[in-house]
A and B are shown apart, each in its own frame.
Chain A
Amino acid sequence: MSQSLFEFNEFIRRVIALNLPEPLWIRAELSDVKSSKGHFYLDLVQKKEDSEEIIAQAQAVIWSKNYRALQKKLGQAFERLLQPGMEILILAKAEFHERFGLKLMVEDVDPAHTLGKLEMQRRETIRQLQTLNLLQKNGRLPLPLVVQRIAVLSSEKAAGYQDFMKHLSSNSFGYQFSISFFPVAVQGMMVEKEAISQLENLARRREDFDVVVIIRGGGARLDLAAFDSFLLAKTLADIPLPILTGIGHDTDETVADLVAHTSLKTPTAVADFILHRNLGFESQITNLGLEAKNKVMQLVQEKAARLQYLTQLIDYQVKSNFTQQVQMLDFIAREVPGILKNRFVQANNELNNYDKIVQLLGPEAAFRRGFALVFKQGKHVSEVAQLDLEDEVQVHLKSGRFQALVKKLQ
Protein backbone atom coordinates (compact mmCIF):
# COMPACT_ATOMS: atom_id res chain seq x y z
CA MET A 1 0.00 0.00 0.00
CA SER A 2 2.00 2.86 -1.23
CA GLN A 3 1.45 5.81 -3.57
CA SER A 4 3.63 7.95 -5.67
CA LEU A 5 4.71 11.43 -4.53
CA PHE A 6 2.64 12.90 -7.32
CA GLU A 7 -0.43 10.96 -6.17
CA PHE A 8 0.21 12.20 -2.59
CA ASN A 9 0.71 15.82 -3.67
CA GLU A 10 -2.31 15.64 -5.91
CA PHE A 11 -4.31 14.45 -2.88
CA ILE A 12 -3.06 17.40 -0.82
CA ARG A 13 -3.95 19.76 -3.65
CA ARG A 14 -7.47 18.40 -3.75
CA VAL A 15 -7.82 18.61 0.06
CA ILE A 16 -6.70 22.18 0.05
CA ALA A 17 -8.82 23.12 -2.94
CA LEU A 18 -11.85 21.52 -1.40
CA ASN A 19 -11.40 22.93 2.09
CA LEU A 20 -10.21 26.40 1.10
CA PRO A 21 -12.29 27.25 -1.94
CA GLU A 22 -12.48 30.98 -1.11
CA PRO A 23 -9.65 33.48 -0.62
CA LEU A 24 -8.92 34.54 3.01
CA TRP A 25 -7.47 37.65 4.66
CA ILE A 26 -4.04 36.82 6.02
CA ARG A 27 -1.65 38.96 8.09
CA ALA A 28 2.07 38.49 7.62
CA GLU A 29 5.42 40.27 7.46
CA LEU A 30 7.18 40.57 4.14
CA SER A 31 10.70 39.23 4.44
CA ASP A 32 11.59 39.39 0.75
CA VAL A 33 10.14 40.54 -2.58
CA LYS A 34 11.27 39.50 -6.04
CA SER A 35 9.77 40.28 -9.40
CA SER A 36 10.06 38.48 -12.67
CA LYS A 37 8.22 39.13 -15.93
CA GLY A 38 5.67 41.35 -14.19
CA HIS A 39 4.92 38.75 -11.56
CA PHE A 40 5.82 39.41 -7.92
CA TYR A 41 7.05 36.69 -5.57
CA LEU A 42 6.72 37.42 -1.88
CA ASP A 43 8.30 35.65 1.09
CA LEU A 44 5.91 35.89 4.04
CA VAL A 45 6.91 35.22 7.61
CA GLN A 46 5.52 35.53 11.12
CA LYS A 47 7.87 36.06 14.00
CA LYS A 48 7.36 35.20 17.62
CA GLU A 49 6.22 38.26 19.54
CA ASP A 50 9.17 40.44 20.64
CA SER A 51 11.58 38.09 18.94
CA GLU A 52 13.24 37.42 15.63
CA GLU A 53 12.33 33.75 15.75
CA ILE A 54 10.22 32.77 12.75
CA ILE A 55 7.23 30.66 13.68
CA ALA A 56 5.48 30.57 10.29
CA GLN A 57 6.57 31.02 6.69
CA ALA A 58 4.91 30.85 3.26
CA GLN A 59 5.37 32.05 -0.30
CA ALA A 60 2.90 34.24 -2.14
CA VAL A 61 2.56 35.37 -5.73
CA ILE A 62 0.94 38.37 -7.31
CA TRP A 63 0.37 37.55 -10.95
CA SER A 64 1.09 40.43 -13.30
CA LYS A 65 -2.58 40.78 -14.14
CA ASN A 66 -3.50 41.18 -10.46
CA TYR A 67 -0.52 43.42 -9.88
CA ARG A 68 -1.64 45.86 -12.56
CA ALA A 69 -5.18 45.87 -11.20
CA LEU A 70 -3.92 46.57 -7.66
CA GLN A 71 -1.57 49.24 -8.91
CA LYS A 72 -4.50 50.95 -10.56
CA LYS A 73 -6.60 50.67 -7.41
CA LEU A 74 -3.98 51.66 -4.78
CA GLY A 75 -1.67 53.84 -6.79
CA GLN A 76 1.92 54.38 -5.63
CA ALA A 77 1.10 53.25 -2.11
CA PHE A 78 0.91 49.71 -3.46
CA GLU A 79 4.54 49.62 -4.50
CA ARG A 80 5.61 51.06 -1.18
CA LEU A 81 3.69 48.39 0.63
CA LEU A 82 5.77 45.73 -1.03
CA GLN A 83 8.92 46.48 0.89
CA PRO A 84 10.72 43.95 3.04
CA GLY A 85 9.87 44.49 6.68
CA MET A 86 6.33 45.63 6.00
CA GLU A 87 3.46 44.12 7.89
CA ILE A 88 0.80 43.44 5.26
CA LEU A 89 -2.75 42.16 5.08
CA ILE A 90 -3.49 40.22 1.90
CA LEU A 91 -6.52 38.51 0.48
CA ALA A 92 -5.13 35.29 -0.86
CA LYS A 93 -6.24 31.87 -1.98
CA ALA A 94 -4.12 28.86 -1.03
CA GLU A 95 -3.06 26.71 -3.96
CA PHE A 96 -1.02 23.64 -3.81
CA HIS A 97 0.98 22.56 -6.85
CA GLU A 98 2.29 19.05 -7.10
CA ARG A 99 5.74 20.25 -8.02
CA PHE A 100 6.00 23.77 -6.52
CA GLY A 101 4.15 23.17 -3.26
CA LEU A 102 1.93 25.63 -1.38
CA LYS A 103 1.57 29.13 -2.73
CA LEU A 104 -0.75 31.97 -1.74
CA MET A 105 -2.33 33.62 -4.75
CA VAL A 106 -2.71 37.30 -3.79
CA GLU A 107 -5.91 38.90 -5.03
CA ASP A 108 -6.02 42.04 -2.88
CA VAL A 109 -3.96 44.03 -0.40
CA ASP A 110 -5.26 46.29 2.44
CA PRO A 111 -2.84 49.21 2.85
CA ALA A 112 -4.81 50.51 5.87
CA HIS A 113 -3.64 47.55 7.86
CA THR A 114 0.00 48.28 7.08
CA LEU A 115 -0.39 51.95 7.86
CA GLY A 116 -2.17 51.07 11.11
CA LYS A 117 0.60 48.69 12.02
CA LEU A 118 3.21 51.32 11.24
CA GLU A 119 1.33 53.85 13.32
CA MET A 120 1.14 51.47 16.25
CA GLN A 121 4.84 50.78 15.92
CA ARG A 122 5.49 54.47 15.71
CA ARG A 123 3.54 55.16 18.88
CA GLU A 124 5.31 52.38 20.66
CA THR A 125 8.66 53.77 19.55
CA ILE A 126 7.71 57.24 20.81
CA ARG A 127 6.59 55.75 24.13
CA GLN A 128 9.90 53.93 24.52
CA LEU A 129 11.91 57.06 23.69
CA GLN A 130 9.81 58.96 26.22
CA THR A 131 10.55 56.36 28.87
CA LEU A 132 14.27 56.63 28.11
CA ASN A 133 13.96 60.42 28.29
CA LEU A 134 15.37 60.73 24.76
CA LEU A 135 12.67 62.82 23.05
CA GLN A 136 13.93 66.16 24.34
CA LYS A 137 17.60 65.22 24.70
CA ASN A 138 18.82 66.72 21.42
CA GLY A 139 16.50 69.69 21.81
CA ARG A 140 18.29 70.65 25.00
CA LEU A 141 21.60 71.13 23.15
CA PRO A 142 22.44 74.78 22.52
CA LEU A 143 22.07 75.89 18.91
CA PRO A 144 24.98 78.16 17.91
CA LEU A 145 24.06 81.81 17.30
CA VAL A 146 25.70 81.52 13.90
CA VAL A 147 25.29 78.28 11.93
CA GLN A 148 27.97 77.82 9.28
CA ARG A 149 29.52 74.38 9.48
CA ILE A 150 26.82 71.94 8.46
CA ALA A 151 26.88 68.15 8.30
CA VAL A 152 24.21 67.04 5.83
CA LEU A 153 22.74 63.56 5.87
CA SER A 154 20.91 62.93 2.63
CA SER A 155 20.99 61.25 -0.71
CA GLU A 156 22.73 63.06 -3.51
CA LYS A 157 19.85 62.16 -5.79
CA ALA A 158 17.16 63.45 -3.44
CA ALA A 159 15.41 66.53 -4.84
CA GLY A 160 15.24 67.94 -1.32
CA TYR A 161 19.01 67.91 -1.03
CA GLN A 162 19.40 69.93 -4.23
CA ASP A 163 16.75 72.41 -3.03
CA PHE A 164 18.50 72.78 0.29
CA MET A 165 21.93 73.38 -1.26
CA LYS A 166 20.60 75.82 -3.81
CA HIS A 167 18.60 77.80 -1.29
CA LEU A 168 21.52 78.01 1.11
CA SER A 169 24.23 78.91 -1.38
CA SER A 170 22.20 81.50 -3.29
CA ASN A 171 21.22 83.49 -0.19
CA SER A 172 21.02 87.24 -0.74
CA PHE A 173 22.90 88.04 2.50
CA GLY A 174 26.18 86.66 1.17
CA TYR A 175 26.59 84.15 4.01
CA GLN A 176 29.16 81.43 3.37
CA PHE A 177 28.69 77.86 4.52
CA SER A 178 30.98 74.89 4.94
CA ILE A 179 28.94 71.82 4.12
CA SER A 180 30.05 68.24 4.70
CA PHE A 181 27.94 65.69 2.91
CA PHE A 182 27.24 62.28 4.45
CA PRO A 183 25.44 60.21 1.80
CA VAL A 184 22.73 57.84 3.04
CA ALA A 185 19.76 56.02 1.54
CA VAL A 186 16.60 57.98 2.31
CA GLN A 187 14.17 55.22 1.44
CA GLY A 188 13.88 51.51 1.99
CA MET A 189 15.60 48.94 4.11
CA MET A 190 19.04 50.55 4.13
CA VAL A 191 18.00 53.86 5.65
CA GLU A 192 18.37 52.82 9.27
CA LYS A 193 21.70 51.05 8.89
CA GLU A 194 23.37 53.69 6.68
CA ALA A 195 22.04 56.63 8.66
CA ILE A 196 23.20 55.18 11.98
CA SER A 197 26.63 54.43 10.55
CA GLN A 198 27.03 57.95 9.13
CA LEU A 199 25.76 59.53 12.33
CA GLU A 200 28.42 57.62 14.23
CA ASN A 201 31.02 58.89 11.73
CA LEU A 202 30.06 62.50 12.12
CA ALA A 203 29.71 62.24 15.90
CA ARG A 204 33.42 61.47 16.00
CA ARG A 205 34.02 64.79 14.23
CA ARG A 206 31.61 66.77 16.40
CA GLU A 207 34.10 69.67 16.76
CA ASP A 208 33.95 70.24 12.98
CA PHE A 209 30.23 71.03 12.87
CA ASP A 210 27.67 73.47 14.22
CA VAL A 211 24.65 71.36 13.30
CA VAL A 212 23.52 68.15 11.65
CA VAL A 213 20.90 68.49 8.94
CA ILE A 214 18.80 65.55 7.77
CA ILE A 215 17.23 66.18 4.40
CA ARG A 216 14.74 64.22 2.36
CA GLY A 217 12.31 65.30 -0.30
CA GLY A 218 8.56 64.99 0.00
CA GLY A 219 7.05 61.57 0.30
CA ALA A 220 4.06 59.56 1.36
CA ARG A 221 3.71 58.18 4.82
CA LEU A 222 4.99 54.77 3.82
CA ASP A 223 8.18 56.25 2.31
CA LEU A 224 9.01 57.86 5.61
CA ALA A 225 8.54 54.76 7.70
CA ALA A 226 12.31 54.35 7.91
CA PHE A 227 12.51 57.60 9.85
CA ASP A 228 10.26 56.11 12.52
CA SER A 229 12.92 53.56 13.43
CA PHE A 230 13.61 53.26 17.13
CA LEU A 231 17.32 52.58 16.66
CA LEU A 232 17.73 55.57 14.33
CA ALA A 233 15.81 57.80 16.75
CA LYS A 234 17.96 56.62 19.65
CA THR A 235 21.16 57.32 17.69
CA LEU A 236 19.88 60.78 16.74
CA ALA A 237 19.00 61.56 20.35
CA ASP A 238 22.54 60.69 21.44
CA ILE A 239 24.28 62.80 18.80
CA PRO A 240 26.10 65.64 20.64
CA LEU A 241 25.22 68.16 17.94
CA PRO A 242 21.85 69.87 17.41
CA ILE A 243 19.89 68.17 14.62
CA LEU A 244 17.69 69.98 12.12
CA THR A 245 15.32 67.84 10.07
CA GLY A 246 13.76 68.64 6.75
CA ILE A 247 12.02 65.36 6.04
CA GLY A 248 9.30 66.38 3.65
CA HIS A 249 5.94 65.36 5.02
CA ASP A 250 2.38 66.54 4.91
CA THR A 251 0.76 65.45 8.15
CA ASP A 252 2.40 63.50 10.94
CA GLU A 253 5.96 64.11 11.95
CA THR A 254 8.33 61.19 11.83
CA VAL A 255 9.97 59.97 15.02
CA ALA A 256 13.25 61.43 13.74
CA ASP A 257 11.49 64.84 13.64
CA LEU A 258 10.30 64.40 17.22
CA VAL A 259 13.78 63.57 18.48
CA ALA A 260 15.50 66.35 16.52
CA HIS A 261 16.46 69.72 17.99
CA THR A 262 14.22 71.51 15.47
CA SER A 263 12.04 69.91 12.82
CA LEU A 264 10.99 71.80 9.72
CA LYS A 265 8.47 70.95 7.03
CA THR A 266 10.80 70.95 4.04
CA PRO A 267 14.50 71.05 3.12
CA THR A 268 14.00 74.64 1.92
CA ALA A 269 12.53 75.52 5.30
CA VAL A 270 15.70 74.17 6.97
CA ALA A 271 17.83 76.43 4.76
CA ASP A 272 15.54 79.38 5.63
CA PHE A 273 15.77 78.57 9.31
CA ILE A 274 19.59 78.63 9.18
CA LEU A 275 19.66 81.84 7.12
CA HIS A 276 17.21 83.54 9.50
CA ARG A 277 19.18 82.48 12.52
CA ASN A 278 22.36 83.99 11.03
CA LEU A 279 20.44 87.06 9.91
CA GLY A 280 19.07 87.42 13.43
CA PHE A 281 22.59 87.38 14.80
CA GLU A 282 23.79 89.90 12.23
CA SER A 283 20.83 92.18 12.97
CA GLN A 284 21.58 91.91 16.66
CA ILE A 285 25.21 92.93 16.03
CA THR A 286 24.12 95.74 13.74
CA ASN A 287 21.58 96.93 16.31
CA LEU A 288 24.16 96.84 19.08
CA GLY A 289 26.48 98.89 16.87
CA LEU A 290 23.72 101.40 16.18
CA GLU A 291 22.75 101.49 19.83
CA ALA A 292 26.36 102.14 20.84
CA LYS A 293 26.64 104.87 18.21
CA ASN A 294 23.39 106.48 19.38
CA LYS A 295 24.51 106.31 23.01
CA VAL A 296 27.79 108.02 22.17
CA MET A 297 26.05 110.66 20.06
CA GLN A 298 23.54 111.27 22.82
CA LEU A 299 26.34 111.68 25.34
CA VAL A 300 28.21 114.04 23.04
CA GLN A 301 25.05 116.11 22.53
CA GLU A 302 24.39 116.18 26.24
CA LYS A 303 27.93 117.36 26.96
CA ALA A 304 27.77 119.91 24.15
CA ALA A 305 24.49 121.26 25.50
CA ARG A 306 26.00 121.46 28.98
CA LEU A 307 29.01 123.36 27.63
CA GLN A 308 26.71 125.70 25.70
CA TYR A 309 24.71 126.32 28.86
CA LEU A 310 27.86 126.99 30.89
CA THR A 311 29.16 129.34 28.20
CA GLN A 312 25.89 131.27 28.23
CA LEU A 313 25.87 131.30 32.01
CA ILE A 314 29.42 132.69 32.17
CA ASP A 315 28.62 135.22 29.48
CA TYR A 316 25.50 136.28 31.37
CA GLN A 317 27.37 136.50 34.67
CA VAL A 318 30.13 138.59 33.13
CA LYS A 319 27.60 140.90 31.50
CA SER A 320 25.56 141.09 34.67
CA ASN A 321 28.66 141.91 36.73
CA PHE A 322 29.69 144.47 34.18
CA THR A 323 26.24 146.04 34.21
CA GLN A 324 26.36 146.15 37.98
CA GLN A 325 29.75 147.85 37.90
CA VAL A 326 28.55 150.30 35.27
CA GLN A 327 25.46 151.06 37.34
CA MET A 328 27.62 151.59 40.38
CA LEU A 329 29.97 153.91 38.49
CA ASP A 330 26.99 155.77 37.03
CA PHE A 331 25.66 156.16 40.52
CA ILE A 332 29.01 157.44 41.78
CA ALA A 333 29.34 159.78 38.80
CA ARG A 334 25.85 161.12 39.53
CA GLU A 335 26.28 161.43 43.27
CA VAL A 336 29.91 162.57 43.58
CA PRO A 337 29.53 166.07 42.10
CA GLY A 338 26.75 166.81 44.60
CA ILE A 339 28.78 165.46 47.48
CA LEU A 340 31.81 167.44 46.32
CA LYS A 341 29.75 170.57 45.99
CA ASN A 342 28.41 170.15 49.51
CA ARG A 343 31.91 169.64 50.73
CA PHE A 344 33.10 172.86 49.03
CA VAL A 345 30.13 174.82 50.39
CA GLN A 346 30.89 173.48 53.85
CA ALA A 347 34.60 174.39 53.55
CA ASN A 348 33.68 177.85 52.26
CA ASN A 349 31.25 178.41 55.11
CA GLU A 350 33.93 177.41 57.54
CA LEU A 351 36.38 179.90 56.02
CA ASN A 352 33.69 182.65 56.07
CA ASN A 353 33.07 181.97 59.75
CA TYR A 354 36.72 182.32 60.56
CA ASP A 355 36.81 185.54 58.55
CA LYS A 356 33.88 186.96 60.50
CA ILE A 357 35.38 186.02 63.83
CA VAL A 358 38.76 187.52 62.88
CA GLN A 359 37.02 190.74 61.68
CA LEU A 360 34.99 190.88 64.88
CA LEU A 361 37.97 190.49 67.14
CA GLY A 362 40.40 192.68 65.17
CA PRO A 363 41.31 196.34 66.10
CA GLU A 364 39.26 197.81 63.26
CA ALA A 365 36.07 196.58 64.93
CA ALA A 366 37.09 198.29 68.19
CA PHE A 367 37.67 201.59 66.39
CA ARG A 368 34.28 201.31 64.72
CA ARG A 369 32.63 200.88 68.07
CA GLY A 370 34.31 204.27 69.15
CA PHE A 371 37.31 203.00 71.08
CA ALA A 372 40.70 204.74 70.74
CA LEU A 373 44.22 203.39 71.21
CA VAL A 374 46.78 205.44 73.16
CA PHE A 375 50.55 205.13 72.65
CA LYS A 376 53.32 206.81 74.64
CA GLN A 377 56.72 206.82 72.95
CA GLY A 378 55.45 204.03 70.62
CA LYS A 379 54.18 201.88 73.46
CA HIS A 380 50.53 201.06 73.96
CA VAL A 381 49.05 202.61 77.13
CA SER A 382 46.36 200.53 78.74
CA GLU A 383 46.49 202.04 82.36
CA VAL A 384 46.29 205.72 83.52
CA ALA A 385 49.13 204.92 85.90
CA GLN A 386 51.46 204.68 82.94
CA LEU A 387 51.04 208.40 82.29
CA ASP A 388 52.51 211.55 83.90
CA LEU A 389 51.36 215.21 83.58
CA GLU A 390 52.59 216.94 80.45
CA ASP A 391 53.33 213.52 78.74
CA GLU A 392 53.01 213.64 75.01
CA VAL A 393 50.80 210.74 73.68
CA GLN A 394 49.58 209.57 70.31
CA VAL A 395 45.90 208.71 69.99
CA HIS A 396 44.69 206.33 67.24
CA LEU A 397 41.09 206.55 66.01
CA LYS A 398 39.20 204.90 63.18
CA SER A 399 39.99 207.51 60.58
CA GLY A 400 43.46 208.62 61.72
CA ARG A 401 45.56 209.81 64.71
CA PHE A 402 46.56 212.92 66.59
CA GLN A 403 49.07 214.12 69.22
CA ALA A 404 47.85 215.14 72.64
CA LEU A 405 49.29 216.52 75.90
CA VAL A 406 48.25 215.01 79.27
CA LYS A 407 46.73 217.89 81.31
CA LYS A 408 45.04 216.14 84.14
CA LEU A 409 45.20 212.68 85.69
CA GLN A 410 42.25 211.26 87.51
Chain B
Amino acid sequence: MTKQKSKLTYESALQELQEIVSNLQEAAISIVDLSERVTRAAELLKFCREKLRETEEKVQGLFD
Protein backbone atom coordinates (compact mmCIF):
# COMPACT_ATOMS: atom_id res chain seq x y z
CA MET B 1 0.00 0.00 0.00
CA THR B 2 2.81 2.39 0.92
CA LYS B 3 4.64 1.48 -2.30
CA GLN B 4 1.58 2.31 -4.33
CA LYS B 5 1.19 5.58 -2.48
CA SER B 6 4.65 6.74 -3.52
CA LYS B 7 3.70 6.19 -7.21
CA LEU B 8 0.44 7.99 -6.77
CA THR B 9 -0.24 10.83 -9.21
CA TYR B 10 -3.13 13.25 -9.40
CA GLU B 11 -4.52 11.46 -12.43
CA SER B 12 -4.24 7.95 -10.96
CA ALA B 13 -5.68 9.16 -7.65
CA LEU B 14 -8.63 10.70 -9.47
CA GLN B 15 -9.17 7.53 -11.45
CA GLU B 16 -9.18 5.42 -8.27
CA LEU B 17 -11.60 7.86 -6.68
CA GLN B 18 -13.99 7.47 -9.64
CA GLU B 19 -13.79 3.67 -9.30
CA ILE B 20 -14.57 3.82 -5.58
CA VAL B 21 -17.57 6.08 -6.22
CA SER B 22 -19.02 3.75 -8.84
CA ASN B 23 -18.46 0.75 -6.46
CA LEU B 24 -20.27 2.58 -3.67
CA GLN B 25 -23.17 3.32 -6.00
CA GLU B 26 -23.56 -0.42 -6.78
CA ALA B 27 -24.55 -0.98 -3.08
CA ALA B 28 -23.61 -4.67 -3.28
CA ILE B 29 -20.63 -4.06 -1.10
CA SER B 30 -19.99 -5.44 2.40
CA ILE B 31 -20.11 -3.00 5.24
CA VAL B 32 -16.46 -3.64 6.18
CA ASP B 33 -15.37 -3.06 2.58
CA LEU B 34 -17.54 -0.02 2.58
CA SER B 35 -15.71 1.44 5.51
CA GLU B 36 -12.32 0.71 3.99
CA ARG B 37 -13.37 2.20 0.64
CA VAL B 38 -14.64 5.37 2.26
CA THR B 39 -11.44 5.70 4.24
CA ARG B 40 -9.41 5.22 1.00
CA ALA B 41 -11.59 7.75 -0.77
CA ALA B 42 -10.92 10.27 2.00
CA GLU B 43 -7.17 9.64 1.62
CA LEU B 44 -7.31 10.10 -2.15
CA LEU B 45 -9.35 13.25 -1.82
CA LYS B 46 -6.85 14.64 0.64
CA PHE B 47 -3.97 13.77 -1.70
CA CYS B 48 -5.66 15.36 -4.68
CA ARG B 49 -6.55 18.49 -2.77
CA GLU B 50 -3.00 18.86 -1.53
CA LYS B 51 -1.58 18.32 -5.03
CA LEU B 52 -3.99 20.85 -6.44
CA ARG B 53 -3.16 23.47 -3.82
CA GLU B 54 0.54 22.80 -4.21
CA THR B 55 0.35 23.29 -7.99
CA GLU B 56 -1.78 26.39 -7.66
CA GLU B 57 0.74 27.93 -5.29
CA LYS B 58 3.60 27.06 -7.68
CA VAL B 59 2.02 28.72 -10.66
CA GLN B 60 0.71 31.66 -8.68
CA GLY B 61 2.64 34.83 -9.60
CA LEU B 62 4.37 33.25 -12.59
CA PHE B 63 2.38 35.44 -14.98
CA ASP B 64 2.28 38.70 -13.08
Give Cα distance in the complex from A126 to B57, angstroms.
Answer: 122
Beyond A340-B56, A351-B45, 5 additional contacts (C-beta under 8 Å) are A340-B59, A347-B52, A354-B45, A358-B20, A361-B38
Q: Are B45 and A380 neighbours in the complex by a CB distance under 8 Å?
A: no
A331-345: CB near B (< 8 Å → 1, else 0) gives 001101100100010
Q: Are A373 and B31 neighbours in the complex by a CB distance under 8 Å?
A: yes
Whether A357 contacts B52 in the complex (CB less than 8 A), given A333-B63, A363-B35, comes out as: no
Give Cα distance in the complex from A347 to B52, angstroms.
Answer: 8
A contact set with B: CB distance below 8 Å: 333-334, 336-337, 340, 344, 347-348, 350-351, 354-355, 357-358, 361-363, 373, 380
Q: Which residue of A lies closest to B27 (CB)?
A: A361
Q: How near does chain A come to B18, taking the closest CB pair, in angstroms?
A: 8
Give Cα distance in the complex from A351 to B47, angstroms.
Answer: 10
Give Cα distance in the complex from A344 to B58, angstroms.
Answer: 12
Task: Name the residue among A344, A348, A361, A380 with the largest chain B CB count within 10 angstroms.
Answer: A361
Give Cα distance in the complex from A337 to B60, angstroms.
Answer: 8
Residue B8, interface by CB 8 Å: no
Q: Are A358 and B45 neighbours in the complex by a CB distance under 8 Å?
A: yes
Whether A358 contacts B21 in the complex (CB less than 8 A), given A373-B31, A380-B32, comes out as: yes
Q: Which residues of B from 30 to 64 have beta carbons under 8 Å from A?
A: 30-32, 34-35, 38, 41-42, 45, 48-49, 52, 55-56, 59, 63
Give Cα distance in the complex from A380 to B30, angstroms.
Answer: 9
Residue B25, interface by CB 8 Å: yes
Q: How near does chain A come to B39, taking the closest CB pair, in angstroms?
A: 9
User: Given the complex, which residues of A lie within 8 Å of B21, measured CB to CB?
Assistant: 354, 357-358, 361
**Interface of chain B, helix or strand or loop or mixed?**
helix
Task: Give the interface residue-count category, chain B.
Answer: 20 to 34
User: Given the complex, which residues of A lie within 8 Å of B38, measured CB to CB?
Assistant: 358, 361-363
User: Given the complex, which residues of A lie within 8 Å of B14, measured CB to CB?
Assistant: 350
Q: Which of A337, A351, A373 contacts B63 (CB 8 A)?
A: A337
Q: How near does chain A come to B9, taking the closest CB pair, in angstroms?
A: 13
Give Cα distance in the complex from A362 to B30, angstroms.
Answer: 12
Q: Which residue of A lies closest to B30 (CB)?
A: A380
Q: Are B52 and A361 neighbours in the complex by a CB distance under 8 Å?
A: no
Q: How near does chain A come to B46, taking the closest CB pair, in angstroms?
A: 10
Give Cα distance in the complex from A373 to B31, angstroms.
Answer: 9
Q: Which residue of B lies closest to A375 (CB)?
A: B31
Q: How near does chain B come to A117, taking the closest CB pair, in angstroms?
A: 123
Q: Which of A336, A361, A362 contacts B25 (CB 8 A)?
A: A361
Q: Are A351 and B49 neighbours in the complex by a CB distance under 8 Å?
A: yes
Give Cα distance in the complex from A358 to B21, angstroms.
Answer: 7
Q: How near does chain A come to B60, taking the closest CB pair, in angstroms?
A: 8
Q: Which of A351, A358, A380 contacts B48 (CB 8 A)?
A: A351
User: Given the complex, which residues of B lie within 8 Å of A350, measured CB to CB?
Assistant: 14
Whether A363 contacts B31 in the complex (CB less than 8 A), given A336-B63, A351-B45, A358-B20, comes out as: yes
User: Given the complex, which residues of A lie within 8 Å of B31, measured CB to CB?
Assistant: 363, 373, 380
Give Cα distance in the complex from A247 to B24, angstroms.
Answer: 140
Q: How near does chain B come to A327, taking the closest CB pair, in angstroms?
A: 15
Q: Can you show 11 pairs from A to B with CB atoms below 8 A apart?
A: A333-B63, A336-B63, A344-B52, A347-B48, A347-B52, A351-B45, A354-B41, A354-B45, A358-B41, A358-B45, A363-B38
